[in-house]
């Protein structure tokens, strides 16, 4: 085979997609073929190595269930999820004189649609282990105006680093949806999350062990904030001082999302609740980008 034959093969495969009606699909597939073929040439990929990769992807699919998306975990640990998030954030930008929207990060494999909507001030941590924590803050637009009625969906691991989905009999715990008040304010109780290892009993775990990578994530509370006329934000609140802030297995940590969790002795909390045990409090304000920022970009 001549040296130019592999390059001709790439051109032939790209040409096979020339009649794809959707121009965006045609662009993506052509670029995928171009870079995938270039990867194979660059590492001089052998047939046995390629088959091993195919088997790996098959194993990723086989272990995935409705409660466990190994493909999301693979995307996260390869940094692709955060790359896509970062590209989307760059498209939003900020209007001159406005604040940047809150930084986004990965949704992760533990989002469970359908969390109950509860009144502000509710405690969603009573059924899971962990130290009580009061969360409060505001949702505003990038001009600082409050966003009333914004939906704030939250979920986290418990104080032992386990999600409700990971138990033998999964049941929604430690997750809920809230609506901001007329001033854009929110408040709820949960627990102080703990660092935890990503699921490592599948092919992604095997990859992490083979490459001697950390499988841990720093402690964080997930938050997804949405409101009409605004871009939905998916982000985390990271616990300041948590282990693994500097070696997050999914590359999701952002400095702007690291929040102080203040420790308090028993007494009256800021929302008036009488606490008989030590508790924590965390404050964070979310800024949402306008939908028009996407079309303008």
Domain membership flag for residue 202: yes
What pLDDT shows up at residue 296? 46
Q: Clarify whether residues 225 and 161 are in a common domain.
A: yes
Looking at the structure, tell me whether residues 112 and 40 fall in a common domain: no
Looking at the structure, do residues 135 and 183 belong to the same domain, yes or no? yes
SS3 154: strand
The answer to the question of residue 173 being in a domain is yes
Query: Among 156, 286, 280, which Cα is nearest to 217's?
Result: 156
Domain membership of residue 163 (yes or no) is yes
Alpha carbons 135 and 220: distance in angstroms, whole number: 12
| Segments in the chain forming alpha helices (H) | 5-16, 23-42, 47-63, 70-77, 80-92, 203-210, 292-296
- Which residues, in sequence order, are bridge partners of residue 143? none
pLDDT score for 91: 86
DSSP state of 137: E
Q: What is the dihedral sign for C-alpha 126, 127, 131, 136?
A: negative
As for how many domains the chain has, the answer is 2
Residues 174 and 288 in one domain: yes
**Whether residue 217 sits in one domain with residue 287:** yes
Give the residue numbers spanning the domain of 15.
5-45
Q: Which of 225, 202, 224, 227 is nearest to 215 (CA)?
A: 202
Q: Domain check: are 146 and 287 in the same one?
A: yes
- If asked whether residues 31 and 157 sit together in one domain, one would say no
Q: Are residues 131 and 238 in the same domain?
A: yes
- Whether residues 32 and 116 share a domain: the answer is no
Q: Could you tell me if residue 58 is inside a domain?
A: no
Do 133 and 174 meet the contact criterion of CB atoms below 8 Å apart?
Answer: no
Report the C-alpha dihedral over residues 41, 44, 49, 55, rounded to 10 degrees: -10
207-to-54, 79, 216 alpha-carbon distances in Å: 14, 14, 14
Does 35 fall in a domain?
Answer: yes
Q: Are residues 82 and 167 in the same domain?
A: yes
CB 13 within 8 A of CB 26: no
Separation CA 10–CA 38 (nearest Å): 9
pLDDT at 40: 97
Beta pairing, strands 185-191 & 132-141:
antiparallel
Low pLDDT (below 50) residues in the chain: 293-297
Pairwise CA distance, residues 246 & 77, whole Å: 14
Residue 297's pLDDT is 44
């Amino acid at each position: 085979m001549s040296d130019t034959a592999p390059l001709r093969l790439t051109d032939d495969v790209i040409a096979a997609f020339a009649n794809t009606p959707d121009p965006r699909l045609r662009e993506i597939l052509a670029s995928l073929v171009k870079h995938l073929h270039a990867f194979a040439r660059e590492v001089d990929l052998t047939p046995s190595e390629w088959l091993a990769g195919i088997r790996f992807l098959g194993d990723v699919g086989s272990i995935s269930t409705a409660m466990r998306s190994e493909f999301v975990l693979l995307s996260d640990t390869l940094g692709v999820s955060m790359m896509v998030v970062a590209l989307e954030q760059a498209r939003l930008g900020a209007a001159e004189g406005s604040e940047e929207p809150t930084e986004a990060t990965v949704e992760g494999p533990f989002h469970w649609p359908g969390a109950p909507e509860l009144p502000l001030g509710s405690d969603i941590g009573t059924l899971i282990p962990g130290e009580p924590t009061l969360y409060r803050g505001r949702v505003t637009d990038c001009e600082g105006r409050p966003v009333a009625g914004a939906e704030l969906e939250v979920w986290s691991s418990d104080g032992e680093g386990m999600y409700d989905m990971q138990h033998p009999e999964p049941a929604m715990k430690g997750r809920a949806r809230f609506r901001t008040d007329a001033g854009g304010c929110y408040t709820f109780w949960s627990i102080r999350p703990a660092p935890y290892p990503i699921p490592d009993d599948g092919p992604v775990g095997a990859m992490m062990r083979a490459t001697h990578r950390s499988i841990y994530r720093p402690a964080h509370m997930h938050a997804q904030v949405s409101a009409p006329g605004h871009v939905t934000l998916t982000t985390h609140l990271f616990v300041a001082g948590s282990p693994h802030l500097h070696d997050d297995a999914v590359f999701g940590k952002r400095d702007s999302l690291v929040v102080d969790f203040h420790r308090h002795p028993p007494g009256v909390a800021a929302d008036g609740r009488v606490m008989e045990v030590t508790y924590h409090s965390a404050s964070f304000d979310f800024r949402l980008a306008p939908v028009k920022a996407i079309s303008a970009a």
